Structure 1
Amino acid sequence: METLNIGNISLTWLDGGVTHMDGGAMFGVVPKPLWSRKYPVNDKNQIELRTDPILIRKNGLNILVDAGIGSGKFSEKQKRNYGVTQESNLKQSLAGLGLTCEDIHIVAMTHLHFDHACGLTEYHGDELVSVFPNARIIASATEWNEMRHPNIRSKNTYWKENWEAVKDQVNTFDHAHQLTEGITMHHTGGHSDGHSVIVLEDEGETAVHFADLMPTNAHKNPLWVLAYDDYPMTSIPQKQKWQAFAEEKDAWLIFYHDAIYRAVKWGEDGEITAFVKREGK
């Protein structure tokens, strides 16, 4: 498991599963000859997208960023459609750190699309139960509202199986929410109306988790937004805003979906100057 320290904040990437999504959809209107230079693509025009939660530890708290795709939640058809070649091994990852799901204090949900939220619940027989029974689940109020009342476009990604069993654990915020000193969620919209980024700051060091505003390192260009973005003209200025913040702070950018890099820093020329690579990549 890869790790990164931001001052006294420790980050560890867990194994939340993997999907393979259409590359064209993941890069929107960007022509394939451009994006395929920056991110590998298979013969089905799919790109590998990890769904790996990040365990953040500070001040005695165990904070999980998003929840992975879970296990036992997909039909065979869904596995084919979403290119799921491996389901979550989150419990095994936590066990390797001497933790269980009961030890998670907070689950910070950048948004509640199925590839981030399926890991919140699991089947015990025919009943869905919470995977993290002792945790507060934090999401923006806008995202929580749409999760429960999806529209004709979003109903395919907001699943009742992922929220009904945990509704009593959910806490919401409007604009920003401090998870603990130095770790704050900020509502951005864009990818979804309730999407959030997470900023980590400690001892003069900074990291920004762009979540699905920048799902991989190849999405650095502010104009390279997803066809899956519900509000792309919100995504663009939000990417610009938080990229400017990251540049000013010489911040790490950390990823949930990237199959190659866990975290990167970019120099003034746009080249990667520091990185944490996924094991085996």
Structure 2
Amino acid sequence: MKLFYRQVGLGGPNVFLFHGLYGNSLNWASIAQSLSKFYQVFSFDLRNHGHSPSSSFMDYFLMAEDIRQTAEPMELFPVHLIGHSLGGKLAMVFALSFPQWVSSLVVVDIAPVDYGKEAVEEHFKMLEAMRSLPLADLKKRKEAEVLLLKTINNKTLVQFLLTNLIYQSERYVWRINLEGIRASIEKLNAFPALHACFPGRTLFIAGERSNYLEASSIHQLSFYFPKATLVKIRDAGHWVHFEKPKEFLEVLIPFLKERK
């Protein structure tokens, strides 16, 4: 599957940016613009998200193949990979599958682990709330927010989810494929068993207030990524690059510029 992407920057090494679940390429807009001074930056909409095609199922191998099919004809490899959350897992799987095409790897606030049954149930709850919205009856976006808040008690999260609700042909529609994501959520919540390691430079950036990268994950990190280093951004939660962009770039740019 060939994906939609946004490109900024006219020269320098290539950087690929992968968004998280329920996100899209615009989540990286500010960081992409900052990196474009030094790099040619490609921000992708992953399958079932944004402007990219939909499918009934998605897993990390299919998504890695989407990236390969989109980028290989343009001769963009090797690249620096940067991924947040779901996009971080995709970046890891891509680096483990195609290490020869990856100059360096940056994983933002996610680990190569299964996050368990409770996390899956939380996603099912969110997806059901989104699927249950009476889209044909909605007159304003605010109505959707009020309805979602009855089930999802987190205004910031609800507003993030609603970035996928667009007004089209005189009615509101979801820009993400809720059914395809729902059918895939257990695979996306887990991490595939890969008997490989990525020998290149790897940086994990975590939010200090996030619990996605716990001490118990360190063994898995070093198994797959023996050259990995971990940096925690102070006072940041899961959306590290959005909450603390300046601090994020202060860690990211020196790493990307490092010599092998």
What is the TM-score when the length of structure 1 is the normalising length?
0.31
The structure in which a higher percent of residues are helix is 2
The structure in which a higher percent of residues are strand is 1
What is the TM-score when the length of structure 2 is the normalising length?
0.33
